[in-house]
Amino acid sequence: MLIKNFLFHRVSDEKDALWPPMKPVLFEKIVQKLSQTYHIVSLEAYIKDKPAFSKIKKPFATILFDDGYKDNIEYAAPILKKYNCPASFYIVTDSIDRNIPTWTYILDFSLQNTKLPVIELDFNYVPEPYKRIVLNNGISQSTKKLKPWMKTLPNRSRLQIMQTITELCKDVEIPKRQMLSWDEVRQLHSSSFVIGSHTDTHPMLGQLEDKNEIEKELQTSFIKIKNQLGIVPYTISYPIGSYDKRVMELSQKVGYKIGLAVEQRFYKTEKDNLFSIPRVELYQQPWIKVNARISGVYTAIKKLWK
């Protein structure tokens, strides 16, 4: 059995040169396409009770959201309800508690809004191209490459870089109310959407050196969701798709039943481990590219090209 798991993050008309949200018009076009072509099911419902879906002839697809941005309830949820589509939302619990976006959003926003012409990162582990970040409203080549490079760093180094950038960009005020509140999460849950974990503070779990740190991230979010919603979260979505054997084992130990990766391929239910289920991420792109990702043509072409 093949299930097409589609991953989304933000759905909004907000402009962002480094990480543009998916426009609601495009999101609705995707949902309409998926609802016509596939049987949309929550991944959790399918895995909990596979026999219940055995007589369905249509191919399966899921709609999944990471991070827990407020625009998920403002724009995405009404469209999902319009087409009667289930979906799952995986939240960063510390971002909800403190009303602050994830570090990835803070980085992009700071680079695009600071008046500084240059940011110096004078650390011995920083390669030459990133020691001096030339800013051009956050859209220079160096700023575009900075976040992907930071995603490769050990967590402590990433935190050090983030602290340096936020201290230098004191002229930037990070916007509040970008993330869902607990009341809004409860509203999604009461509307029959699935709520799961995306960790507590959104680190790359596979790059945490200390197993205790990994377990704390997984467990803290698990407990917060349980206390706030009165449910046991079934799923952990690994931030930025970062995981390893330790992460998979600790996720199971904490009490999760599913672990979600980001591998740009479809889920083979008979072969893939429940703690490394792949998802295909959809972006704000021209429809021809989005449709190619949905069909699998885009991934197939990339494999051939390699």
In this structure, the dihedral spanned by the alpha carbons of residues 185, 188, 192 and 195, taken in order and rounded to 10 degrees, is: -40
Helix/strand/coil (H, E, C) string of the chain?
A: CEEEEEEECCECCCCCCCCCCECHHHHHHHHHHHHHHCEECCHHHHHHCHHHHCCCCCCEEEEEEEECECHHHHHHHHHHHHCCCCCEEEECHHHHHHCCCCHHHHHHHHHHHCCCCEEECCCCCCCHHHHEEECCCCCCHHHHHHHHHHCCCCHHHHHHHHHHHHHHCCCCCCCCCCECCHHHHHHHHHCCCEEEECCCCCCCHHHCCCHHHHHHHHHHHHHHHHHHHCCCCCEEECHHHCCCHHHHHHHHHHCCCEEECCCCCCEECCCCCCCCECCEECCCCCHHHHHHHHHCHHHHHHHHHC
Cα–Cα distance for residue pair 107/111, rounded to 1 Å: 6
Per-domain boundaries in the chain = 2-98+179-305, 103-168
Residues of the chain with pLDDT under 70: 298-306
Cα–Cα distance for residue pair 147/126, rounded to 1 Å: 13
pTM for the model stands at 0.95
Q: Residues 6 or more apart from 145 whose CB is under 8 A from it?
A: 129, 130
For residue 299, the model assigns a pLDDT of: 67
- 215-271 pLDDT, tens digit per residue, is 999 999 999 999 999 999 999 999 999 999 999 999 999 999 999 999 999 999 999
For residue 63, the model assigns a pLDDT of: 98
For residue 303, the model assigns a pLDDT of: 61
| 258-260/88-91 β-pairing | unpaired
For residue 301, the model assigns a pLDDT of: 62
Q: Residues 6 or more apart from 35 whose CB is under 8 A from it?
A: 83, 84, 85
For residue 227, the model assigns a pLDDT of: 98
Q: What residue has token string 């704000």?
A: 284
For residue 142, the model assigns a pLDDT of: 82
For residue 297, the model assigns a pLDDT of: 80
Fold classified for 2-98+179-305: TIM Barrel (3.20.20)
Q: What are phi and psi of 141, to 5 degrees?
A: -60, -35
Query: Which amino acid belongs to residue 273?
Result: N
For residue 291, the model assigns a pLDDT of: 95
For residue 137, the model assigns a pLDDT of: 72
In this structure, the dihedral spanned by the alpha carbons of residues 229, 182, 86 and 43, taken in order and rounded to 10 degrees, is: -60
- 279-298 pLDDT, tens digit per residue, is 999 999 999 999 999 998 86
